[in-house]
Amino acid sequence: MRAILGLIVLGLAAAALYFLVINPTEQATMTGEETATEEAVASEDIADMEQDEMSATDMAAEDDPNIWLEEVLGDEALDWVRARNDETFADIKADPRYEGFYEEALEVYTSQDRIVSGEPRDGFLYNFWQDEAHVRGIWRRSPLDAYLAGTPAWDVILDLDALGAEEDQNWVWDGADCLRGSSRCLIAMSHGGSDANFVREFDMETRTFVEGGFYLDEAKQGAVWVNEDLVLVRTDWGEGTMSSSGYPLNVGLWSRGQPIDDVAPIFEGAETDTFAFAGSSETPEGSYNVIYRGVSFFEFEYFLVAEDGTLTQLPAPHLSDMSGFHKGQIIFGLNEEWTVETTQGERTFASGSVVSYSVDDLLDDGTLDAVHTLFVPEDRVAFQSAAPSGGALYLSLLDNVAGRVLRATFDNGWTMEDVDLPGNGRVGISATDDMEDSVFYTYENFLIPDSLYYSQNGSTPNQVQSLPEWFDTEGLVARQEIAVSADGERIPYFIVHRADIEYDGSTPTILYGYGGFQISMRPSYSGNVGRLWLANGGAYAVANIRGGGEFGPEWHQAALHGNRQRAFDDFIAIQEHLIETGVTSPEHLGIMGGSNGGLLVGASMTQRPDLTNAVVCQVPLLDMLRYHLLLAGASWIGEYGDPEIPEQREYIAEYSPYQNLDPDADYPRAFFYTSTRDDRVHPGHARKMVARMIQQGHDVQYFERIEGGHSGGANLAQSAERVALEYVYLTRQLMD
């Protein structure tokens, strides 16, 4: 309910490219008949964004005949989009398999057989729910005891479908920050799923928005409670207050009744920063408010905020992730080696470690009495995240890409124990209670559907819910394999297929990859992959390439900036391994990725078109010489490098897919998908790539959604359409 500090960096930074990573085939898109309506909504929403973006389209315009496609809502550009959509719909929707795929995918999305998870708080479980009857969704709660007993008594707090109809708005839920001991919440909602949102004060008792309460008009922004009459806010205050990537640089203390334009900043970021962010954490020992200064996408400074606005900088290296507070200790995951002075002398901690120190010691005299170690990285065992509860701290680890959870308690030092959860799969910490030692876990793997577990006070977790199987797993196997990359590094990947396949290169195979932003690809269950692909004899593989976080910060940092080619080499090595081992062949191998993963598959296609016969490229980055000028692109310079610096532009140009298209190459017939409403990754990337491929005489398919933001949609029914389009395409390319 409150912003958990350990998730803030992921929420603001990594999640900016994260949505298409988990269960990548199960995201939201839109039905065809809604397009005209949503174009009108998007036109109103994007107008201000586009004016800022177009002022940046300067340097490469003369050299790029497709630059006009960067005009998000330009008439000519949208006419081009509609023409491409019409071609794709006419082709793929005419396939007799389309309707069946659509209905099967729709059944997955609208099924009531889903894990009902949420956040425990004050004896209730809060949950946001979408289904066929609640397309936009409802925010609701049930007494926790009733929920755990399997008989939840849901009480609807806010109905977004009803609100949208009442206000004639396309509302998409962005979350709630609720003040403990009060009925007041700050509700964030966006138009159509964009990053820019509205913040409105809501009263849970009256179930109404507070007249004259805290309100923020549309912007990339956020607000969290300090007390009932005071809010920490970051928003667009005009010229000089937003970063070049479109995020707020300043944070202010906003008093009830005060006009937002009169709020003076208590923190002002530098012009070169990526963002500033405010978050809060509640513990039995008290509440903490923290400002994050995003020096770059991965580099941070942290400031503790007193109610009078006084800031205290927290000692931590720039490459670190704050993971919250527990027993007066503040916890950091280190992404670089850290040497720090304490009253006990100088200490050095290895990159990948998790450490803590006392906030009170720091506030007393500005020095650290001691720094405690929670976790030290081991060979292929890496820290992922931490989640504090009222009674313990829970650490999520990856052990050779299999999930583990540790329970940590503090008494002048940390005591650690493994939580007894199923192994060899994806284990997650779903939610914790700020005031009690109460925690929910999730578990799944490629062949076992999601399950939800619950424990209190360190007890053995009990299974609360599990999903039915969406496909028959009899005869299917999931295993981990190793490919060797160009520089000799061992690159793991998972593959799922029928146990009785012939190793003669005939198995249709999809390889999914991401490879960036320290995001890990872990085993996960997908009803759509199972029903539309595995059940029809296909194999599905997931790459654990460098650039991700599977083996800690070094695994990520190995593919940054001028070393980006390593991620592509790793992905190519897995393709080659699948072919060399006889699982598949170039005729039957397809690759898929979204966002940064779209860059991955775009680079793989342009560098080694001979390896694949299908490419699904979702909301991608592709023009890497201009990515920093488009929307949030400048925030990712820490990942890719800066095209304005000649030596960095040189290595980026070597792999940028748009610049490396070859009219003489024999590319597979690729499928590109993007969203007009995406205010994170500019739709111009995919538009221009497809336009250039058509100009060069290549056969290509394209689909652009007019709403939905970076996640691809705001409507459950939309998901089925896109998934059906993609899997008809993949079936044609790899199975027919």
Strand partners, 496: 478, 540
Q: Say if residues 246 and 632 touch (Cβ distance below 8 Å).
A: yes
DSSP string, 236-248: --STTSB-TTS-B
Tokens of 126: 């809060």
Planar angle of CA 401, 480, 117, nearest 5 degrees: 50
Marked catalytic residue, from 243, 595, 711, 719: 595
Strand partners, 386: 395
Sign of the C-alpha dihedral, residues 651, 655, 659, 663? positive
Q: Say if residues 605 and 670 touch (Cβ distance below 8 Å).
A: yes
Query: Could you tell me the maximum CA-CA distance found in the chain, to the nearest angstrom?
Result: 73
How are strands ordered across the β-sheet holding 490-498?
A: 476-484, 490-498, 539-543, 509-512, 589-594, 614-618, 670-675, 700-705
Distance (Å, whole) CA 96 – CA 94: 6
Tokens of 666: 């024999």
Planar angle of CA 159, 160, 161, nearest 5 degrees: 95
Tokens of 117: 């998870």
Strand 300-305 and strand 119-121: the pairing is: unpaired
Give, in order, the Cα–Cα distances in Å from 38 to each of 45, 376, 377, 565, 634.
10, 50, 48, 38, 28
Query: Whose CA is closest to 207, among 230, 184, 190, 226?
Result: 184
At residue 176, what is the residue type?
A: A
Q: Say if residues 399 and 426 touch (Cβ distance below 8 Å).
A: no
Find where tokens 């007494």 sit.
143
Is 191 a residue of the active site? no
Find where tokens 């990725």 sit.
593
Q: Say if residues 57 and 204 touch (Cβ distance below 8 Å).
A: no
Phi and psi angles of residue 332, each rounded to the nearest 5 degrees, phi first: -130, 140
Phi and psi angles of residue 721, each rounded to the nearest 5 degrees, phi first: -65, -50
Query: Whose CA is closest to 172, among 712, 720, 705, 595?
Result: 712
Q: Say if residues 379 and 353 touch (Cβ distance below 8 Å).
A: no
At residue 638, what is the residue type?
A: G
Is 372 a residue of the active site? no
Give, in order, the Cα–Cα distances in Å from 725 to each of 26, 327, 673.
13, 51, 10
Distance (Å, whole) CA 403 – CA 102: 33
Per DSSP, 546 falls in state: B
Find where tokens 């995240």 sit.
385
Sign of the C-alpha dihedral, residues 519, 521, 522, 527? positive
Distance (Å, whole) CA 574 – CA 376: 30
Marked catalytic residue, from 682, 710, 711, 719: 710
Find where tokens 């400002």 sit.
291
Residues tagged active-site: 595, 710
